[in-house]
Structure 1
Amino acid sequence: MNEQDIFQKITDEFYWFHRHPELSYEEVETTKRLREDLAAAGIEVLDLPLKTGLVAKVGTGEAPFIALRCDIDGLPIQEESGLAYASEHAGRMHACGHDFHISAVLGSAYLLKAKERELRGTVYLIFQPAEEAPGGACKVMETGVLKDVQAIFGLHTSPLYDVGTLGIRSGAVTASVDKFTVTFHGKGTHAAHPERGIDPIVMAASFVTAAQSIVSRNIDPAHPGLVSITHIESGNTWNVIPESSWLEGTVRCLTAEDRKLIKKRIYELAEGQAASFGGHAELTWYAGPPATDNTPDWTDFAIEVAKEAELDVVPAPVNLAGEDFAYYQEEIPGVFVLVGTGKSPANHNPKFHVDPAALGPAARYMARLAVEAFARL
């Protein structure tokens, strides 16, 4: 295929992927379609113990090794975009642009295959499952396929930028993501006689207020971070003080130090607030991905390549959303790039959409990163 044919092919595939979203670890048809696309182009798919998702390779089969990564799962959202190629599956939607990511990296694979004889190393093309779970990146890492990779590059749609603009910055672009649940245990009683019980709802309410002091009083005011309590349950009627109350929430921040401190304070406040009312707290912590961490020298490289490709580059904004590309960056230097896909409602919004015109430039840019990374290494 020539470049024009490649761009038409990945646009058609983008429409297909958008119409057929699949949730995390359920991307069976998406994976099957990718295998067929890659096989038709003579691109090798590696034999790995992945139930969904895949890794393909192009190049010499020898060092140096570079990786390009995309994610392939959709979200449990009912689409309201009004697109002619809207999701055909009720309650499921590619509302975060993973269909775009798939198609752009597929285009990069085609472009690299077309000049495979000129490549001076091997490119692994990661079509990763379950980014939204999150944790699909860990499944890929566990296969060991990336143990010799010297640099990794990932992309993400951005509704903040026009087509032709990239957001790139050194260091953290997205935040660490942790979830916690707290059960406050008290003593049930008649609502008319609170003195005979221990009210777990008061404990929970006090904790919700106190937890907001962590960001405002315990971490550096210049450091972005948040503690959000998003779900509370307790009781089942109007005249009974219940035995317990339960809540859950999330913590987001950009540094490992703040992440550790916020966790410590969540535990202290939950236990302290419960004890102050005569009850006790039971807390469970669910650690998600760390903050992304763009390597400074590879970030400078990615900016240089973008400018050579006549793409506009702006500093990526600090974002407290999470991204499991960060798991790769714990072991492999690399860069996570935001790709302008036209102005749109935010990611995870039922009206989110991207401009397919951004596919060609994104595919060409990702392929160029790989080729020029070989020269740099």
Structure 2
Amino acid sequence: MAINNFLLFNLTLHLLLLLRVSSDPSRITGDVSRTPKKFLEYAKSPEVLDWMVRIRRRIHENPELGFEEFETSKLIRSELDLMGAKYKYPVAVTGVVGYIGTGEAPFVALRADMDALPMQEDVEWEHKSKVPGKMHACGHDGHVAMLLGAAKMLQEHHQDLQGSVVLIFQPAEEVFAGAKKMLKEGALNHVEAIFGIHLTNRVPFGKTASRAGSLLAGSGFFEAVITGKGGHAAIPQHTIDPVIAASSVVLSLQHLVSRETDPLDSKVVTVSKVHGGNAFNVIPDSITIGGTLRAFSGYSKLQQRVKEVITKQATVHRCNASVNLTPEGKGAVPPTVNDMNLHKQFKKMVRELLGEESFVEASPVMGGEDFSYFAEAIPGHFSFLGMQDETESYASGHSSLYRVNEAALPYGAAMHASVAVQYLKDKASEVHDEL
């Protein structure tokens, strides 16, 4: 009788535990590979959403610039430890590469950037940046929170994954091409495809935008020092005026787009800084100018023409000019080109997850992204997650007034997790069909 009572007690306890798990909104049950909406329900649960918001706010309060993301990286590793997810660190100084699943092929990667910008935050709120002159003004704090949210979901369901998910927490996206360094250090070894998601105020909340082919332009910078001979402003004939030369250079650079570029081939050349002189009555010895150039094609030729225009226009005005096309180590970033097959898979996943009207066909954007290095190495897909609310305005990226609509975080986490599961499932089906 005692044995029977003991067995009955154990059976009752087991049933109670099952009921508790099935009713807990913070856990995933069932085959989520068949129903991606379970990921979204999970990510929207108060416990998980609040957790992602807390992570995002902690990172926002303590912004770190490229290759300086030591505390951000420490936080990421701590959360992965709590989940029981494996990872490799350091990769590219501060980067973290996590692994979830079987540890065997196929491998698919999800990427989040994690660096801040050298800007002063002008948004007054409880979690404003605590570091003067540094701010998360492009949503990378949100990107980290979304990828950790996806990691949490995938890890809880790791036994059902039909392959491996690689989590790329990347440093130095903004200016130092951290993706390139991560590639060199083997972050994408064995990986067959990679997906990236970026928050944006240009797409309505709950919608996602992307396109096949060229999405973002190749981008880079230039800086030039135009040197003449300074002197008294009242006797300019005794000087070689670099101000006049610089003015001519700025105007002539605009002709590279208006007169040398096919109107159907988008290019941008912008002079965004001019420095020189410190007195009203003194012509300076030199002027420094700098700016950016963007192109979907013919980028190298555009670089060459920028250099030619600056040096030759300076010569016309009897000045000398030195041109640096990688100022402060900021190299050019290639265009971001989305793989056609991955785009089809992504669009299908978004419509299943968020509804038929949730996907928006994006137009090409002249902004640049070093995700392009990943997408050059293997098939890649980059997309934008909308956060613009009808009741509240959100500033664009790189604005001192930039804010993240935290209600969008569950959508990004669910999209990350869903596209990874769907990719692995499709790859398993391909193998089965071949057999």
TM-score over 0.5 for the alignment? Answer: yes
Question: What amino acid is the match of 1:260?
Answer: S
Structure 1 residue 114 displacement after superposition: 1.3
- Which residue number corresponds to residue 146 of structure 1? 188
Structure 1 residue 136 displacement after superposition: 1.3
Q: CA offsets, 1:194-251, max 9 Å, x none? A: 3343222211111110100111111111222211112222334333433332211111
- Which residue number corresponds to residue 167 of structure 2? 125
- Which residue number corresponds to residue 9 of structure 2? none
Question: What amino acid is the match of 1:288?
Answer: A
TM-score relative to the length of structure 1: 0.94
Q: Could you say what the CA RMSD is over the residues aligned between the two structures, in angstroms?
A: 1.8
The 5 Å alignment of 1:48-59 reads: 48-59=90-101
Q: Pick the aligned partner of 2:376 from 320, 330, 354.
A: 330
Secondary structure of 1:164's match?
Answer: coil
- Which residue number corresponds to residue 283 of structure 1? 323
Cα distance, 1:305–1:274 mapped onto 2, change above 3 Å: same
Please, which moves more after superposition, 161-170 or 97-106? 161-170
Taking only the aligned residue pairs, the percentage that are identical comes to: 35
- Which residue number corresponds to residue 263 of structure 1? 303
Cα distance, 1:271–1:14 mapped onto 2, change above 3 Å: closer
Secondary structure of 2:255's match?
Answer: helix
Distance in 1 between residues matched to 2:99 and 2:413, nearest whole Å: 16
> 5+ unaligned residues in a row in structure 1: which ranges?
none
1:319 aligns with 2:365: yes
Distance in 1 between residues matched to 2:302 and 2:105, nearest whole Å: 42
1:35 aligns with 2:85: no
Distance in 1 between residues matched to 2:130 and 2:152, nearest whole Å: 27
Distance in 2 between residues matched to 1:76 and 1:274, nearest whole Å: 32
Question: What amino acid is the match of 1:297?
Answer: N
Structure 1 residue 49 displacement after superposition: 4.2
Q: Pick the aligned partner of 2:283 from 231, 241, 246.
A: 241
2:91–2:187: 8 Å Cα contact kept in structure 1?
no
Equivalences, count: 375
Secondary structure of 2:71's match?
Answer: helix
Structure 1 residue 38 displacement after superposition: 0.6
- Which residue number corresponds to residue 20 of structure 2? none
Question: What amino acid is the match of 1:349?
Answer: S
Q: Pick the aligned partner of 1:66 from 98, 108, 124.
A: 108
Larger Rg: 2
- Which residue number corresponds to residue 353 of structure 1? 403
The 5 Å alignment of 1:109-258 reads: 109-255=151-297, 257=298
Q: Pick the aligned partner of 2:352 from 308, 311, 320.
A: 308
Cα distance, 1:24–1:234 mapped onto 2, change above 3 Å: same
Structure 1 residue 191 displacement after superposition: 3.2
Secondary structure of 2:254's match?
Answer: helix
Secondary structure of 2:315's match?
Answer: helix
Q: CA offsets, 1:283-333, max 9 Å, x none? A: 111132112111122112111111111240112233222211111112111
- Which residue number corresponds to residue 56 of structure 2? 14
Higher-helix-fraction structure: 2
1:342–1:354: 8 Å Cα contact kept in structure 2?
no
1:48–1:143: 8 Å Cα contact kept in structure 2?
no
Distance in 1 between residues matched to 2:364 and 2:195, nearest whole Å: 18
Question: What amino acid is the match of 1:323?
Answer: E
Distance in 1 between residues matched to 2:232 and 2:134, nearest whole Å: 44
2:269–2:293: 8 Å Cα contact kept in structure 1?
yes
- Which residue number corresponds to residue 274 of structure 1? 314
Q: CA offsets, 1:166-186, max 9 Å, x none? A: 011112222222111112232
Please, which moves more after superposition, 7-16 or 187-196? 187-196
2:91–2:97: 8 Å Cα contact kept in structure 1?
no
Question: What amino acid is the match of 1:374?
Answer: L
1:59–1:119: 8 Å Cα contact kept in structure 2?
yes
Cα distance, 1:197–1:90 mapped onto 2, change above 3 Å: closer
Question: What amino acid is the match of 2:334?
Answer: P
Cα distance, 1:263–1:355 mapped onto 2, change above 3 Å: same
Distance in 2 between residues matched to 1:139 and 1:266, nearest whole Å: 27
Distance in 1 between residues matched to 2:269 and 2:117, nearest whole Å: 23
Cα distance, 1:193–1:126 mapped onto 2, change above 3 Å: same
Distance in 1 between residues matched to 2:54 and 2:315, nearest whole Å: 60
Secondary structure of 1:289's match?
Answer: coil
Q: Pick the aligned partner of 1:367 from 392, 414, 417.
A: 417
Distance in 2 between residues matched to 1:24 and 1:290, nearest whole Å: 19
Please, which moves more after superposition, 88-97 or 340-349? 88-97
Structure 1 residue 97 displacement after superposition: 0.8
Question: What amino acid is the match of 2:422?
Answer: E
Distance in 2 between residues matched to 1:88 and 1:284, nearest whole Å: 34
Question: What amino acid is the match of 1:234?
Answer: G
1:156–1:339: 8 Å Cα contact kept in structure 2?
yes
Q: CA offsets, 1:41-74, max 9 Å, x none? A: 1001114444313111101111111100001112
Distance in 1 between residues matched to 2:236 and 2:123, nearest whole Å: 51
> 5+ unaligned residues in a row in structure 2: which ranges?
1-25, 28-41, 428-435
